[in-house]
Amino acid sequence: MNNKDSAGTNFKWVGKRTRRPDGPDKVTGRARYGDDMIVPGMLHAKILRSPHAHAKILSIDTSKARAFKGVKAVVTSADIPDHPLTKPPYGPIITDFHDISCNVLAREKVLYDGHAIAGVAATSERIARAAIKLIEVEYEVLPHVLDPLEASKPDAPVLHDHQYTHGVDPEPEKPSNVFRVVTGGRGDVEKGFAGADIIVEREFSSQPVHQGYIEPQACIATASEDDSVELWTTTQGHFVIRAFCARLLNMDMARIRVTASEIGGGFGGKNNIYAEPVAIRLSQMTGRPVRMVMSRSEVFRATGPASGTHTRIRMGAKKDGTITAAEVDIYNQAGAFKGSPVGRSIETFFSAYTIENIRASGYDVCVNRPKVAAYRAPGAPMAAFAAEGTINELASRLGMDAVDIRMKNAVREGDQSLSGIKYGQIGLLDVLEKVKSHEHYSAPLGPNQGRGFALGYWMHGGGLSSVSANLLDDGTIAVATGNPDIGGSRSSMRVMAAEELGIDIEMIKPIVADTGSMGYSHLTAGSRTTFATGMAVINAVREIIDKLRALAAKKWEIPVEEITWEAGQAETGRDGIKALSLKELAGMATKMGGPIAGHSEINAGGAGAAFSAQLVDVEVDPETGFVSPKRYTVFQDVGRAISPDYVEGQIQGGAVQGIGWALNEEYVYDDQARLQNTGFLDYRMPVASDVPMIDAVLIEVPNPNHPYGVRGVGEPPIISAPAAVANAVENAIGITMSSLPLSPPKVLNAIEQGQAEKD
């Protein structure tokens, strides 16, 4: 019906910089985040956490804590149902409720410093904090292992006695930290390498990094006598939280109603449950609401991070830059329980290129660290760090331009990703051409400066979304989705609804509804919300338009087919009939048939691939190894920027997080594997003054599978950032850098070693 022209020139709202609907409440402090909720009669809960990285729990004595004045209940794993381990065949993502149960409250063993052991609910947070110290836990401390490569060795301390490596032949006889080996490939790599003029072989390593959301996890659970539960929590997907809690606690899903608070960042780190089931159990035991707010230190010790990796990679190319073969082994640490995004790593290495011969193996490795969580394009930045670093070296050894070598090998429409997905309309070449023609690409550099370049690829997801749009009799419309608004989804939903209806955006009030009010909606994650939920909004609003046309038909007593919807009103070609506005029709609706609403429940497919290329200039202090990013430009195919301010914000945020990953972020453990830097003071994410303005160049190659051409935008911008920054440092100091983070001591060492080799 309202298909806009592909150049987007007819759009009224799409692509405009509109006032954000969540802005005023956030600026005034009125917006309610996880810990802003107060419920009368509530108790405060705290969690006792393991001081050991790996130990058997011999006994837990909670009697002193229970007897402490003000303590109302104590919960341990004995109060949470156990679940059987998931059996093969395993999908790409494994949700194992045995693991989740053991992570929420440890059973036989603690597997990392900070592993939750028991929860206490008390009349004040101070009492709860004092009481957890009275819980007596007897441990048998076991040797630990933190590094994925070390953990993969046969003599490494084993975390799970029941875990035998899956996907290897012959079947192993001994338990292992390697949960599985995922493989991918095509063609014949030996033949490919034989046809290469030059082969580059390198090893890369990257450290786990935390998502670093500003708002710590926080929730309030209120259990009723009729076995129902209300849960308020900060999450990227309250429907997922409901499903997880119901399954874990053996409850009926419909009895748990979850409301998502405003969310202060997630980046994948708030897709999971941590304290929620503990708060629910404590509320059930006490009959009172239970509030649980994590401290920053708990967030660092027990949530997130993204996997640390170790990668061996080999690539061969012809003199003209054609890449003939690529081979990779990646060890991806999963943390205490299986489930690193190793499959996505494998997908990401080479899928931007038409390499004919590929062999890839990925190892999902358990280590004594918190279970990894999704983080912006899970698995991809570490893969790109290795693959793009290797391609940059190929280019420089061949004396070829870094963009040209990628153009030579770039995938086009009709080519396939490593997992066999055929690309539709994609913007990779448009992105690369834009880089070459941009002024930044050839701008002069100052002393001690270097320029880096890298490309990022990501295959987006669509998935399940529900929307309910209610037309009210004053002509305003409440649009409810089931997706927490992390990156501006309310604004984008409002823009799309207004565009479709042809009315002012202020007539539309977008909200995030609770799980009791809506159909299932998957996480706000995977850059899916504007694409999938946006599509559901468009569907729901189109249903309203159809109903309004029918209403006009009834009023005018003419066939509905004769009525069109243009610029917010029902029109007919007939003379003498005055168009009816949305407002007029809304006023008539209740008297002429009843309320009008539109809804849509979909499984959106075709989100498609997106590419983000980054150019960065850094300056390196040769005496201290300090790296300062001076200029940064991101070129990204965004499909269609529904709200350009947010799209640029996503790109800037992604790039900055990638800069942190590249330069200073890392976990520091002592020799007992206790985490030392559990706050932002010593976990060194970039601060505002550390980064230059991130210029975002938006390239719009519309996605044909979305009415307005939307692609995901949130994930691609982090993917190539570590590789681009590392490449810039390499070019500034003339030394290859293969191990993240590129912190000052490491860079200074490299400079000094380089000098020693020259002398």
Partner 1 sequence: MVDLRYESPETIEVAVALLAAEGQMARVFAGGTDLLVQMKEELVEPALLVDIKKISETRLIAIDPDQVRIGAAVTGAELGENEQLKAMWPGVVEAVELIGSAQVQGRATIGGNLCNASPAADSVPALIAAEARAVIAGPDGIREVPVGEFLTGPGQTSLGLGEFVTSITLPKPPEHGGDAYLRFIPRTEMDIAVVGAGLSVVLNPDGTCAAARLALGAVAPTARLVEAASEIMVGNKLDDTVLEALSAAASETCSPIDDKRGTIEFRTKVAGVLACRVAKIAWRRAENN
Which listed residue (137, 602, 748, 750) binds partner 1 by CB under 8 A?
748
- Nearest CB to partner 1, comparing residues 120 and 609: 120
- Nearest CB to partner 1, comparing residues 126 and 436: 126
Which range of residues in 74-82, 504-512, 591-599, 619-627 is near partner 1 by CB under 8 A?
Answer: 619-627
CB 75 within 8 A of CB 141: no
Smallest separation (angstroms) from partner 1 to the CB of 618: 14
CB 203 within 8 A of CB 331: no
Distance CA 537, CA 543 (A): 10
Smallest separation (angstroms) from partner 1 to the CB of 132: 11
Which listed residue (686, 702, 712, 717) binds partner 1 by CB under 8 A?
686
Q: Does 739 bind partner 1 (CB under 8 A)?
A: no
Which range of residues in 347-355, 436-444, 731-739, 743-751 is near partner 1 by CB under 8 A?
Answer: 743-751
Distance CA 260, CA 270 (A): 11
Q: Does 682 bind partner 1 (CB under 8 A)?
A: yes
Q: Which of 282, 123, 297 lies closest to 216, judged by CA?
A: 297
Distance CA 594, CA 333 (A): 57
649-678 residues near partner 1, rule: CB under 8 A: 663-664, 668, 676-677
CB 76 within 8 A of CB 89: no
β-pair partners for 627? 620
> Quick one: which H or E segment has residue 385?
helix 380-398
Q: DSSP string spanning 106-164?
A: --SEE-STT-EEEEEEESSHHHHHHHHTT-EEEEEE------HHHHTSTTSPPS-TT--
- Nearest CB to partner 1, comparing residues 430 and 621: 621
Smallest separation (angstroms) from partner 1 to the CB of 710: 36
Q: Does 254 bind partner 1 (CB under 8 A)?
A: no
Indicate the angle between helix axes 238-248 and 97-104, nearest 10 degrees: 90
Smallest separation (angstroms) from partner 1 to the CB of 626: 7
Largest CA-CA distance found in the chain, in angstroms, rounded? 94
Any idea what DSSP says for residue 490? H
Which listed residue (606, 644, 744, 754) binds partner 1 by CB under 8 A?
744
Which range of residues in 441-449, 506-514, 612-620, 687-695 is near partner 1 by CB under 8 A?
Answer: 687-695
268-327 residues near partner 1, rule: CB under 8 A: 295, 297
Residue with tokens 């080999």: 314
Smallest separation (angstroms) from partner 1 to the CB of 68: 9
Smallest separation (angstroms) from partner 1 to the CB of 628: 8
How many positions of this chain bind partner 1 (CB under 8 A)? 28
Which listed residue (225, 623, 757, 759) binds partner 1 by CB under 8 A?
623
- Nearest CB to partner 1, comparing residues 63 and 676: 676
Strand 290-293 and strand 43-49: the pairing is parallel
Q: Which of 55, 46, 217, 220 lies closest to 135, judged by CA?
A: 46
Q: Does 66 bind partner 1 (CB under 8 A)?
A: no
Smallest separation (angstroms) from partner 1 to the CB of 454: 22
Please state, as a whole number, how many other Cβ atoms lie within 10 Å of the Cβ of residue 154: 8
β-pair partners for 612? 456, 636
Which range of residues in 83-91, 235-243, 623-631, 638-646 is near partner 1 by CB under 8 A?
Answer: 623-631
Which listed residue (689, 693, 756, 757) binds partner 1 by CB under 8 A?
689
- Nearest CB to partner 1, comparing residues 7 and 681: 681
- Nearest CB to partner 1, comparing residues 27 and 254: 27
CB 317 within 8 A of CB 420: no
Which listed residue (36, 684, 735, 754) binds partner 1 by CB under 8 A?
684
Q: Does 5 bind partner 1 (CB under 8 A)?
A: no
Distance CA 421, CA 609 (A): 10
CB 591 within 8 A of CB 698: no
CB 318 within 8 A of CB 408: no
Which listed residue (690, 692, 695, 735) binds partner 1 by CB under 8 A?
690
105-144 residues near partner 1, rule: CB under 8 A: 126-127, 129-130
Q: Does 755 bind partner 1 (CB under 8 A)?
A: no
Residue 752 three-state SS: helix
Q: Which of 487, 181, 484 lies closest to 360, judged by CA?
A: 181
Burial of 495 (0-12, 13-18, 19+ CB in 10 A): buried
Output b/e per residue, 351-363; b: 16+ Cβ within 10 A.
bbbebbbbbbbbb
Distances (CA, A) of 625 to 517, 682, 732, 751: 55, 18, 11, 8
Which listed residue (681, 756, 757, 758) binds partner 1 by CB under 8 A?
681
Which range of residues in 175-183, 511-519, 682-690, 704-712 is near partner 1 by CB under 8 A?
Answer: 682-690
Smallest separation (angstroms) from partner 1 to the CB of 624: 5
- Nearest CB to partner 1, comparing residues 623 and 757: 623
Smallest separation (angstroms) from partner 1 to the CB of 746: 9
Positions touching partner 1 (CB under 8 A) are 126-127, 129-130, 295, 297, 623-626, 628, 663-664, 668, 676-677, 680-682, 684, 686-687, 689-690, 743-745, 748
